[in-house]
Structure 1
Amino acid sequence: MQHAPVIAQFIVEEFLPDVPPAELDVDLDLIDNGVIDSLGLLKVIAWLEERFGIAADQVELAPEHFRSIRAIDAFLARAGTEPAEAK
């Protein structure tokens, strides 16, 4: 899981400020557990576009791709992305 630490850091900063990134389970269902709702999903997609250069109009944006840190990491791997410079 190449991008898991960066993804966990973003999730914690944006949605779970009281949880240390290291304690966030990579398999936690972020949608079913109410961490990310529909607006949060848009925020995650916008962040992926900015941070990893994902072109939202060129990839399949299905909810199952964003259910967990592991799923987001796998989505990035399939998209063949490299992180942009840290912002």
Structure 2
Amino acid sequence: MLTIKDRAGTYSEQIRNFLVSNFYVSDVKALMNDTSLLDQGIVDSTGVLEIIGFIEETFGIIVEDSELLPENLDSIQGIEQYIIRKMN
């Protein structure tokens, strides 16, 4: 069974791959885990909905309206930590 650290690494790679495949990321190497996706213009409000769809479909998680917060959805790290919390 994977540890939380191992799962986090796996989740962050899945999230990064989704972002790079579905959004314009000018410099993939500069996309750090704590980079704000909104501030950097990588996603907009419609993009947030796409991220929610990705989370729900990929991880089987229902994203509640009350969880639509920047700390949950605005960075790879935030998304990863949100997924880990929801899956525990």
Structure 2 length-normalised TM: 0.77
Aligned counterpart, 2:54: 47
Q: Give the Cα separation in 2 of the matches to 1:37 and 1:69.
A: 15
Are 2:37 and 2:43, in contact at CA under 8 Å, matched by a contact in 1? yes
Structure 1 runs, 4 residues or longer, greater than 2 Å off: 16-20, 56-59
Q: CA deviation at 1:69?
A: 0.4
Question: How many corresponding residue pairs?
Answer: 79
CA-based RMSD of the aligned residues comes to 2.0
Is the helix fraction higher in 1 or 2?
2
Identity of aligned residues (%): 34
Unaligned runs of 5+ in 1: 82-87
Aligned counterpart, 1:79: 86
Structure 1 length-normalised TM: 0.78
Unaligned runs of 5+ in 2: 1-7
